[in-house]
Homo-oligomer: A and B are copies of this chain.
């Protein structure tokens, strides 16, 4: 495969220009500026210019810096496992459930842990949906159970078992100290522990989620900022058909 070396672009190809801002725990002054310059050099930059420095607390200085990044990246080598299922709309999906699965499917969702953010999971599950895209609740062929936020892993699993869920939707918005990753894994572990992992299609979502990460955490897929309910519905159905076939 042909190489494709890339660098940041300011106003000329490969000039490498990058804007940075950060704070250093030192008093502002010539020496502080020099430190910022040297530090950015350690980050593989040349032509570093510390354009702004300002004291923002005793012993803390805020900097704005421009520099030319030195490394190059071979774009040809960059791979991601993007989730590849054909995107269907509301009608296509319902139709496919009727003809392909020949039964209603049931989906349970919740925001687990101490995270109280429901707007995200609601956007996917509620009637209203998101961005003029109907939520799962509106799909005649889908029964939804939205447990809201601050739900314990245990409670979520119990509900899933109770309603014989085909898919479980887990949402996490708070990411401080990577608590979302810990919560996501906790739930995945719980399923494995109970040998129930195979029974459900398991989806993770939230503003910081990517399919990449979700898969690593043992989920079937992950959905990030701006996800539309129809994308989620399409994925669930395609996945179920795939399983029923294979």
Tell me the A residues contacting B by CB distance below 8 Å. Answer: 6-10, 13, 17-26, 30-31, 33-35, 38-39, 42-45, 49, 60, 69, 71, 73, 75, 78-80, 82, 208, 210-212
Residue of B nearest to A57 (CB): B9
A80:B34 contact, CB within 8 angstroms: yes
User: Per a CB cutoff under 8 Å, which of B9, B21, B39 touches A23?
Assistant: B9
- Residues of B near A24 (CB, < 8 A) are 6-9
Q: A24-B8, A24-B9, A208-B49 are in contact. Are A80 and B43 (CB under 8 A)?
A: no
In the complex, A60 Cα to B26 Cα: how many Å? 37
Given contacts A22-B69, A39-B71, 15 further A-B contacts (CB under 8 A): A6-B25, A8-B22, A8-B24, A9-B22, A9-B24, A10-B23, A17-B22, A18-B43, A19-B20, A19-B21, A30-B211, A31-B75, A31-B80, A34-B79, A38-B73
- Interface pair B25/A13, CB less than 8 Å apart: yes
A201 to B75, CA, bound (A): 52
Tell me how far the C-beta of A176 lies from the nearest C-beta in chain B, rounded to whole angstroms: 10
**A20 engages B20 (CB within 8 Å):** yes
Which chain B positions have C-beta within 8 A of A42?
44, 71, 73
Contact yes or no, B73 A39, CB < 8 A: yes
CA distance A34 to B82 in the complex (A): 11
Residue in A60, A73, A82 whose Cβ sees the most chain B Cβ within 10 Å: A73
* 29 A–B pairs (Cβ distance < 8 Å), ordered by A: A6-B25, A6-B26, A7-B24, A8-B22, A9-B22, A9-B23, A9-B24, A10-B23, A18-B21, A18-B22, A19-B22, A22-B69, A30-B82, A31-B75, A31-B78, A31-B82, A33-B80, A33-B210, A34-B79, A34-B80, A35-B73, A39-B71, A39-B73, A42-B44, A43-B44, A43-B69, A43-B71, A44-B44, A49-B208
